């Protein structure tokens, strides 16, 4: 029985010595840092420009097609994961292009594939020849309403957007 007690005491001593080593503490600190919550990020589903509406209640994703001179705006939820259909009659963007303000009206787009109709859609589009060459501009999204929530004018840069968490 004495050898059994001696073995138990030796095991406790070995564990106590290794638990006190600086390397173990360092691993413990790193484990805590590794367990930190991930940074909150949004990923536009079409690789476009994110524009936050309100306190992240909704987002717009702006996608430019330079070949056609079109700008598409997708209305998305707070995480930019789900499309949000809206009855908004239009989305208006005032862009500063070469020192001039260019107004672009994005109209609702119906789609028989998704069942979206004008007055119940998540996609808005507009066309302007200046969009064929303007790949970087500052703009203001005019006030708009989505599901009864009013959003004031919102300034953003294209293609950077205004989403500071991306």
CATH of 49-158, one of 1.10.287, 1.20.120, 1.20.960, 2.60.40: 2.60.40
The Cα angle at residue 132 between residues 87 and 108, in degrees rounded to 5:
10
CA distance 75 to 141: 13
pTM of the shown model: 0.74
pLDDT surpassing 70 at residue 20: no
pLDDT higher than threshold 60 for residue 15: no
Query: Could you write out the DSSP letters of every residue in 29-92?
Result: HHHHHHTSPPPP----TTS-EEEEETTTTEEEEEEEETTTTEEEEEEE-TTS-SB--B--S-EE
Q: Which two tokens stand for residue 137?
A: 């501009």
pLDDT one-digit tens code per residue, 43-68: 788 889 999 999 889 999 999 999 99
For the chain, domain boundaries:
2-34, 49-158
Asked, as a colleague might, if the bond just before 110 is cis with ω within 30 of 0, I would say no
Average pLDDT, the chain: 83
Q: When comparing pLDDT for 40 and 93, which is higher?
A: 93
């Amino acid at each position: 029985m004495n050898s059994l007690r001696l073995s138990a005491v030796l095991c406790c001593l070995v564990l106590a010595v290794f638990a006190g080593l600086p390397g173990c503490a360092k691993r413990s600190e790193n484990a805590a840092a590794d367990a930190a919550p991930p940074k909150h990020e949004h990923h536009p589903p079409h690789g476009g420009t994110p524009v936050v509406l309100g306190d992240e209640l909704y987002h717009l994703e702006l996608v430019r097609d330079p070949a056609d001179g079109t700008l598409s705006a997708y209305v998305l939820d707070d995480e930019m994961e789900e499309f949000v259909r809206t009855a908004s009659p239009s989305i208006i963007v005032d862009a500063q292009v070469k020192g001039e303000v260019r107004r672009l009206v994005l109209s609702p787009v119906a789609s028989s594939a998704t069942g979206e109709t004008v007055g119940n859609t998540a996609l808005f589009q507009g066309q302007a020849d200046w969009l064929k060459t303007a790949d970087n501009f500052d703009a203001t999204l005019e006030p708009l309403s989505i599901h009864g929530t009013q959003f004031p004018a919102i300034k953003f840069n294209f293609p950077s957007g205004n989403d500071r968490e991306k």
